A and B are shown apart, each in its own frame.
Chain A
Amino acid sequence: EVQLVESGGGLVQPGRSLKLSCLASGFTFSNYGMNWIRQAPGKGLEWVASISSSSSYIYYADTVKGRFTISRDNAKNTLYLQMTSLRSEDTALYYCARERASFDYWGQGVMVTVSS
């Protein structure tokens, strides 16, 4: 059974940093591209970043480019999102999702709240 479990969220002050993790199981992690997608409270979905299976291709939304870094460790079956210079508008539930062109499996999400 495919499982994606996010962790690392919490309350953080504006301008500070936070690192999210997504532990994958039930499939060969190194064969799939992975993504971070977020959802602000009561809002729609916003794609944040994606990384190819071997980390050769990385893409970011303009809203996070230069502040967030996506990475992965295929030996540990783990996806990461390093978030720096956090802003109040980054407050959201962050999901990791497996990509087969479509986002076919999603984690349950981890909440990030940016507030002083």
Chain B
Amino acid sequence: DIQMTQSPSFLSASVGDRVTINCKASQNINKYLDWYQQKHGEAPKLLIYNTNNLQTGIPSRFSGSGSGTDYTLTISSLQPEDVATYFCLQHSSRPRTFGGGTKLELK
């Protein structure tokens, strides 16, 4: 199984900050990497698919990059509504595996 190591586990930032979250796969996942946002008490929501494709309706301050085993989610200017836990998911192979999550809070 492909292991997804996400960092940091916890992140505190101020409104307007640039925020980056990382996921490292245990093997090459060929850019089959998604990012999900889960607000408290809600279901996860797809933000970015296949490394750098913004899902419909997601603000352009969210972006993704990466290749091989290393991937990054960037929020260019943090907004209060971005407080959430973020997960990465690889769908290069089965079983699908998630990163452990990054809890993002406002400073």
Q: Which residues of A contact B (CB under 8 A)?
A: 35, 44-47, 50, 59, 61-62, 95, 101-109
Are B43 and A47 closer than 8 Å at their CB atoms? no
- Note all chain B residues with C-beta closer than 8 A to A95: 43-44
- Note all chain B residues with C-beta closer than 8 A to A44: 87, 98-101
How far is B50's CA from A103's CA once the two chains are assembled, in angstroms? Answer: 11
Quick check: is B107 within 8 A (CB to CB) of the other chain?
Answer: no
Q: Name 8 A/B residue pairs within 8 A (Cβ), A-sorted.
A: A102-B34, A102-B46, A102-B50, A102-B91, A103-B89, A106-B43, A106-B45, A108-B43
Q: Which residues of B contact A (CB under 8 A)?
A: 32, 34, 36, 42-46, 49-50, 55, 87, 89, 91, 94-101
Are B49 and A102 closer than 8 Å at their CB atoms? yes
- Note all chain B residues with C-beta closer than 8 A to A103: 34, 36, 44, 46, 89
- Note all chain B residues with C-beta closer than 8 A to A105: 46
How far is B94's CA from A44's CA once the two chains are assembled, in angstroms? Answer: 18
Q: Tell me the nearest residue of chain B to A59, going by C-beta.
A: B94
Determine which of A45, A46, A59, A101 lies in contact with B44 in the assembled complex, contact meaning CB atoms within 8 Å.
A45
